[in-house]
Structure 1
């Protein structure tokens, strides 16, 4: 291998790694995938990935050329459209269908892409996701509507954070504070008796880091200690910021508008639970930027995960039910990889989002600080811990029974 070819290869690997990191790829998957690409391209390599950094060490067969590169990066956000296109590009390169120069140019084009659904559809998805979560938690129809409206406000804050670094730093607590303040005003002047804490939680559910906590624990289980610890602690701090903003907003709202007395509403019919799962998954398509051709797979993954969990919970504890759901989801995601030749992450994330107990972690934090429960929950701390462990174990068992075809 001559020096010019080595330079082309290492430039491509570095750019590919940074892009996959930007799209929220977990450390153990990112490192394994880059190692596969490097091996196919005929170089030796070692990689270290954390949520905020990426280190490359690349060398030729006889060490004629060596290259070290370390980058300080921001934590990535899930972008299933770009992840899918990038994986297809890497596959075309490894199959000899593209040259390195063409692949490098295509990477730049993918990186410059925006959301395929645009701002209006994504904003509507925020409102739908928050309403669907409130429905899943058993809120009344009025509370579902208020949650959706405040979810739209959360999207406005998200757009603002993309233009302002200062807003980005305080996005979670500021959004929760404004949502709580407005919910208190609604409960006093428009709709007395609503469940304000539940509305606030629903309106910021997109920011609740349940998925990040699960990914952090999965990285720890794969012996990626630095990345797993960093991701887990980042998720915990994000949860603290959300709760503080909500707690401050509710306190200020009760002081300004008077305390709201919650009046329980009639329970929603059973079919509302399945409708909420459908609407939540449909909203996640736009939020996660899932490609149109993968929508049926993503929806199926969510329903398989939820139905397996609901069915098994009739025969065992909810925590162990989450293990069955995660196991079924892992099998389905790995089957998707073999059939569609796409990363399992594309459909796995949609299923995980309906299983992860991020909202229960928030509720447990509220119970610990205020001593009050705004939803029916017994032994919450034990249940949350067991669900997290069950999710990680279910995915590990699924990978043993049906190994994934791709590292991603």
Structure 2
């Protein structure tokens, strides 16, 4: 970053904070390790458990409190007075490759395979390493994910064309425009929803759409905080109440921003294209086998977006297709909540199998598999219905979203019965649960 550009508090490097321990010292290493893991989206219950094991190996007592916007760590050693450090850090990029490599560093220290000085050097290399997939690929994958999700949601040819254009425009905006200003980045959900709504109504005016809702939600599906909402519920279920509540409210704020963008987009579209409203009617006009092509395309695209190594694609496709089939079948037979439960259970089981058989990072399998299961689109629909003054329908959709979210978490918690093999630790074995964002893993470099 250039010297003349302002640096936000959340982005400030610990190396530049006065009086912080050097990164080569044990405490300095642990501070930077937890900040890196927090940045890559590790939930509180996993992060606190892992850091406690690192601190035990290095001879420190540790009390850690992690919430989505900050980290508090208190270190205790022998007769020294406790030392407390507070780190301002927002959860940042989703990068499974860097996450997995950072986890490897943590376990290498736990197993006494490397020193904290070597670990600190590796953390620097990981942070400074280039992404596996470039921004050009990210923009393309935004478009492909939007196209595939539109078909999975039941869109026809006009809706798919609209969703493709929407995904391309949003992808360019997110990957280019959103990086130039922190204010624009904070308003990204609202601005993206505004663009998606305007494009959807424009195509409805030009070619006619059975549903204006499907292209909108498909175009911004990557930004819909369904995964964030699911993690929040998992943290609440594991008694991490402060972190879970904060993350839950954060997801609600993002939903509200998106609905505000939809409202402004609809008002502006009405000026250009006449009276316009969000319609949700689905027109099934494509063969059912096209859904499986959409799943394959979305699996590959999500692999790129989440920065997963290409060799893990077969497991991602198998997991995504299996969870989709199971959730749809169970949903048709037993209801949406039961379908979500069995879908999540399927994702958890396949993530465990992938780790056991090929040492595939579980985050690499779970995150793409969850995109078609998380209740984000349901929450978005509930707010659009409220926006259209359909209060009863909106509240019903919101209630369904909560039930689906609880079902997902329950399915993942039960899938932890198929326990992952534990990394070999020379001290006490670390118990690991396969939960909504299972990230304690070892990547096969």
Q: TM-score, normalised by structure 1?
A: 0.90
Structure 1 residues 293-304: aligned runs within 5 Å: 293-304=311-322
> Retained in 2: the 8 A contact 1:123–1:155?
yes
Q: Larger deviation: 94-103 or 384-393?
A: 94-103
Matched, 1:308 2:326: yes
Specify which of 214, 218, 222 is matched with residue 198 of structure 1.
Answer: 214
**Contact 1:38–1:45 under 8 Å retained in 2:** yes
- 1:225–1:157 distance in 2 versus 1, CA, 3 Å: same
Any idea what the Cα deviations from partners look like across 1:152-177, whole Å, max 9, x if unmatched? 11122212111211211211111211
Q: Contact 1:24 / 1:77 at 8 angstroms: preserved in 2?
A: yes
For residues 318-347 of structure 1, give each alpha carbon's deviation from its aligned partner in whole angstroms, at most 9, with x where no partner exists: 211211121222222233344455653332
Contact 2:37/2:99 (<8 A) preserved: yes
Query: 1:271-319 CA deviation, whole Å, 9 max, x = no partner?
Result: 1222222222211111111122332232222223222212323431121
Structure 2 residue 96 is the aligned partner of structure 1 residue 69: no
2:416 is the alignment partner of 1:361: no
Q: Report the 3-state secondary structure (helix = DSSP H, G, I; strand = E; otherwise coil) of the residue aligned with 2:416.
A: helix
CA distance in 1, matches of 2:283, 2:350: 38
For residues 11-45 of structure 1, the C-alpha deviation after alignment (integer angstroms, 9 at most, x for no partner) is: 11111100000001111111111112222333221
Greater CA drift, 75-84 or 211-220: 75-84
Query: Relative to structure 2, which stretch is displaced further, 300-309 or 385-394?
Result: 300-309
Separation of aligned partners in 1, 2:209 and 2:354: 46
Show structure 1 runs of 5+ residues with no match. Answer: none
8 Å contact 2:356–2:420 — kept in the other structure? no
- 2:410 counterpart (393, 397, 405): 393
1:110 aligns with 2:126: yes
In structure 2, how many angstroms separate the alpha carbons of the residues matched to 1:315 and 1:174? 39
| Equivalent residue for 1:34, pick from 45, 51, 76 | 51
Once structures 1 and 2 are overlaid, which stretch shifts more, 397-406 or 205-214? 397-406
State whether residues 23 and 79 of structure 1, in contact with CA within 8 Å, keep that contact through their aligned partners in structure 2: yes
Q: Equivalent residue for 2:302?
A: 284
Contact 1:323 1:390 survives alignment (8 Å):
yes
Superposition deviation, residue 148 in structure 1: 1.3
Secondary structure, counterpart of 1:315 in structure 2? helix
- 8 Å CA contact 2:23, 2:117 repeated in 1: no
Which deviates more from structure 2 when the two are superposed, residues 210-219 or residues 316-325? 316-325
CA distance in 2, matches of 1:300, 1:42: 43
Alignment of 1:1-400 (within 5 A): 8-60=25-77, 62-64=78-80, 66-158=82-174, 159-188=176-205, 190-193=206-209, 195-259=211-275, 265-341=283-359, 343-371=361-389, 380-400=397-417
User: Distance in 2 between the 1:274 and 1:343 partners?
Assistant: 24
Q: Post-superposition shift, 1:128?
A: 0.5
What are the Cα deviations for residues 85-107 of structure 1, in whole angstroms up to 9, with x where unaligned?
A: 11222233333433321211110
Q: In the alignment, is the contact (CA less than 8 A) between 1:320 and 1:386 conserved in 2? A: no
TM-score of the pair, normalised by structure 2: 0.83
Q: Name the CA distance, whole Å, in 2 between partners of 1:193 and 1:395.
A: 37
Structure 1 outlier segments of 4+, above 6 Å = 4-7, 261-264
Is the 1:337–1:344 Cα contact (8 Å) retained in structure 2?
yes
Distance, in Å, in 1 between the alignment partners of 2:56 and 2:359 is: 19
For the residue of structure 1 that corresponds to 2:222, the secondary structure is helix
Question: Separation in 2 of the partners of 1:264 and 1:383?
Answer: 19
What do residues 78-129 of structure 1 show as CA deviations (whole Å, max 9, x unaligned)?
2101001112222333334333212111101111123211011111110011
> Quick check: 1:187–1:260 contact (8 Å CA) kept in 2?
no
Q: Is the 8 A contact 2:195 2:265 kept in 1?
A: yes
Aligned residues: 401
Report if aligned partners of 1:290, 1:346 keep a CA contact under 8 Å in 2: yes
Offset of residue 366 of structure 1: 1.5
Cα distance in 1 for residues equivalent to 2:352 and 2:30: 25
Alignment CA distance shift 1:58-1:342 (3 Å): farther
The alignment's C-alpha RMSD in Å is 2.7
